[in-house]
Every structure is written in C-alpha cells, then in structure tokens.
Structure 1
Amino acid sequence: MSKPTFRFTHYDLKEQRAGTIIEVTLSAVNNVRLMTATNFQRFKETLDYKYVGGVAKKSPLKLVIPENAHWHLIVDMEGHHGLAESKVKMVAAPQVQPKQKAS
C-alpha cells in the first residue's frame, strides 16, 4: 500500500452531525481537506477521493460538516513550501429544534 508523498497532519473528528462548524487555524497557506472515513482511507492509499475544502489562504477557515458521518480533517503541504502548524476546534454544533406543539 502506498501513501501520500507529502507531509500532512490528521485530525480524527469522530462522528459529527450535519451543520457542525469546524474552525481550522493555520500558520501558513496549506490545503485543508475534510473527508469521510471511506475517503480518508482512499486518501491514504493514494486513490481518488472526495473532500470539502481546498487551499486555505486565510486563517481561521470555517468548514461546515455536510452530512452525519465519521469525519477526518487533513492539513497538508502538497504544492506549498512546508507543513503549517494547525489547530482545529468545533465552533458550533447544530441545535436540535424542539418540536412545536400544535395550538
């Protein structure tokens, strides 16, 4: 099994609900890729994979979890001068709306 030839930092975000906002702080321009567990496995095997994100030219960057799933976040230096220092935090989880009572 091959693996990516560039350095990256991996964050396992575990199970997240759709609408959760992730804030990524970077020390330099790098790629930020938010992907499901299946796509992270494909990333590690250098197969085609899908992700949310791209080149982060400003920091902090906010990404929204698009669907309920197990998520991984990668910060990588592919195409850039070096691996940025990074920090990830959950900013907001979606609020569960109480059911409205019929009047």
Structure 2
Amino acid sequence: MAGPNFRYKHYDLQSQRAGTVIEVTLSAVNNIRLMTAANFQRFTEKLDFKYVGGVAKKSPIRLTVPDHGHWHLIVDMEGHNGLAESSVKLINSPNHVPQKRAS
C-alpha cells in the first residue's frame, strides 16, 4: 500500500462507543480526520473516504465519535507547511453513566 502523497500520523483508536470525545493537541495547523476502519482502508488506498473533522486551526480540538465501532484518527499535513506534533486523549462521554445489571 503506497498510501497518500502527504505525511500523516495514524492513531488506531480501537473500538469506541458513540459519544466518546477525542481530544487532539497539535503544535501547528493540520487536518484531523476521524474515520471508520473501512474508510481508513480507503484512505490508505487513495480512494474516496468519509471522515469527521477537517482543518484544526486551534488546539486542543475535540471530536465526538458518532457511532459505536472501530475508529482511526489521522493527523495530516495536506495543504499545510508540515506535519504537526500531535497527541490524542480519549475522554469518556459526559452523559455516559454505567448501567447496573438487574439481579
């Protein structure tokens, strides 16, 4: 797999619940793209893909996972001067309350 023609950093977020907040800290303006495993595969094959996110002009920036599933986060320099230093932190959904099992 050749992948895109620009540098990027890949974070495999594994399985996440809908409503989980992803906090991304960047050292410069870059693109952030939160995508499903299927869309990440399309991204690496240079095919059309869908994502949540876009140009991150401020830091930190937060994205919310829209659906349960396996998610990937890409930080990339497409259209920018260089690849930013980045870090990612998962924040539990503020309205997520663990359910007690009925006995």
**TM-score, scaled relative to structure 1:** 0.91
* 3-state SS of 2:42 partner: helix
Corresponding residue number in structure 2 for 1:86 = 86
Corresponding residue number in structure 1 for 2:49 = 49
* 3-state SS of 1:81 partner: coil
CA distance in 1, matches of 2:51, 2:45: 15
What displacement does 1:96 show?
3.4
Q: How many residues align?
A: 99
**AA aligned opposite 1:52:** V
| Larger Rg belongs to | 1
CA distance in 2, matches of 1:36, 1:15: 10
**AA aligned opposite 2:54:** G
Runs of 4+ in structure 1 deviating by more than 2 angstroms, as ranges, are 96-99
Corresponding residue number in structure 2 for 1:14 = 14
What displacement does 1:2 show?
3.7
**TM-score, scaled relative to structure 2:** 0.91
**AA aligned opposite 1:78:** E
For residues 18-29 of structure 1, what are the structure 2 equivalents within 5 Å? 18-29=18-29
Corresponding residue number in structure 2 for 1:95 = 96
Unaligned runs of 5+ residues in structure 1 are: none
Unaligned runs of 5+ residues in structure 2 are: none
* 3-state SS of 1:47 partner: coil
CA distance in 1, matches of 2:69, 2:99: 23
Percentage identity across paired residues of the two chains: 70
Corresponding residue number in structure 2 for 1:39 = 39
